[in-house]
Structure 1
Amino acid sequence: MARIRRDLRSQLVEVAAGLLAAEGPRSLSARRLGKELGTSSTTVYTHFGGMPELVREVMREGFRRLGAELASVSRSDDPVADVVGLILAYRRAAHGAPHLYRVMFGGSEVAGFELTDDDRRIGRRTLAVARDTIQRCTQAGRFRPVEPRILAHQLWCQVHGLVSLELAGYRPADPDDHGDLRHYWRSFAVGAGDTTERAAASVQSALANRIAAE
């Protein structure tokens, strides 16, 4: 029975995220969720206490999955390649669960739900790995001595903007087709202080490592 409850809780998160992303906040109701899962409309209140807390769990589940993807990037002797590895992982996570990604960053507009400071800390903590990896680039003399947090925010803005455009259909959305993206990533590294040749080699190394891992 306990396993069934856990599975139903997870299913509620998945279905709620999908409805929010595909149809917007008006689609989300206890009755609709119950219908989608073939259960009672009271299920949401039994497992979460209400719709706002369900949406909060949707957002946090998204960051848990993103964190797992980022943590899967192995640390190597080439910190710039590791930065590109994190970019690949971020993009892969977004395309793997676009419904969760949209809720994480696009908001839900569900009555009663507002991001808390704890929610935002979860997001920042998840993405701190980028700051730490960029700091390694600076220590290795690949990036100029700038506060790692600044470069991490710059990288996040760039990758988040790219992924948002892809998910909205404004550019090709194949996460395995890197095409001109390798030039974007190389340009980021060069802008951060790396040489064109070393940056290009690191990008190629990261892509080769990703292909080998599949």
Structure 2
Amino acid sequence: MKTALADSAVRIVEQSGVETFSLREVARDAGVSSAAPYRHFSSKEALLAEVARRGFDQLHDELAEAGASSDRRSSFLTRCVAYIGFARRHPALYRLMFGAFPNKHRYDDLVEAGDRLFALLNDPLAASPSDKAARAIGCWAFVHGLAMLALDNQLRAHLPSEDDDSLLAVLQPLADTLMGTEPT
């Protein structure tokens, strides 16, 4: 039952966003009574935390698969493109994952999922110089910013297209800087 409720919640967030999200709608979608969600989730926020955690896990898995190359630079670039692609395919879920979630610290599973994702995205930077933490945050800010610009349709006016090749052209100088390599 808990899984079915969470599955319904993900579907609803993906279709409608969180603005109108309700436990009643989740119960209706899952085909259970309106009281059923409260047996498994203490609140609407707890269910949304579960949805966000699932999003982080899904994005983590997609990045792990995309960045399976042994070449650090290639792994980094393909993970960045996959990150932006995930945001484009799942805009409402992505906004929930990275939006204002005031009590995120209450949900250990959610915090851990976010930390695993951050570590994976920045794993190719592991061999970088001692300022790795600053580089990792800079990388995340850059890629997250590109994802948000893509979601808000702000890249169209500045890129020839929004395909992976155009994104790679934007990301390559970042990879060169972060990894201390010469531009290609």
1:208 match = none
2:103 to 108, 114, 117: 114
Give CA deviations for 1:151-199 in whole Å, capped at 9, x if unaligned.
1111111110111111122234xx97124322221111233321113xx
| Worse-matched range after superposition: 43-52 or 81-90 | 43-52
Partners of 2:9 and 2:26 within 8 A in 1: no
Unaligned 5+ segments in structure 2 are none
Moved more, 30-39 or 44-53: 30-39
| Whole-angstrom CA distance in 1 between matches of 2:133 and 2:181 | 17
The answer to whether the 8 Å contact 2:155/2:162 transfers is no
Instruction: Confirm or deny: 8 A CA contact 1:20 1:103 kept in the other structure.
Output: no
1:34 aligned to which of 19, 27, 35: 27
Pairing partner for 1:95 from 68, 81, 88 = 88
Q: Please say if 1:12 is aligned against 2:8.
A: yes
Give the gaps of 5 or more residues in structure 1.
139-144, 198-214
Quote the residue 2:171 is aligned against. 185
**AA in 2 matched with 1:163:** A
Structure 1 position 74 matched with structure 2 position 65: no
Assess if the C-alpha contact under 8 Å between 1:66 and 1:90 holds in 2: yes
Give the TM-score normalised by structure 2.
0.81
Specify the alignment match of 2:136 in structure 1.
152
Per-residue Cα deviation, 1:40-94 (whole angstroms, up to 9, x for no partner) = 2112112323212101101111111111112112131x21111102112212322
Q: Is the 8 A contact 2:14 2:90 kept in 1?
A: no
Amino acid at match of 1:12: S
156-165 vs 95-104, greater mean Cα deviation: 95-104
| Identity level (%) | 27
Q: Provide the C-alpha distance between the structure 2 equivalents of 1:35 and 1:88, rounded to a whole number of angstroms.
A: 36
Amino acid at match of 1:32: E
Count of aligned positions: 177
* Residue identity matched to 1:188: L
Structure 2 counterpart of 1:85, one-letter code: T
Kept in 1: contact 2:24–2:34 (CA 8 A)? yes
Measure the CA separation in 1 of the matches of 2:103 and 2:15: 18
CA distance in 1, matches of 2:87, 2:58: 10
Secondary structure of the residue aligned to 1:180 is helix
Distance 1:116 1:55 in 2: 13
Contact 1:98 1:167 in 2 (8 A): yes
AA of the residue aligned to 2:144: H
Which letter does structure 2 place at the counterpart of 1:134? L
**Correspondence 1:123 to 2:114:** yes
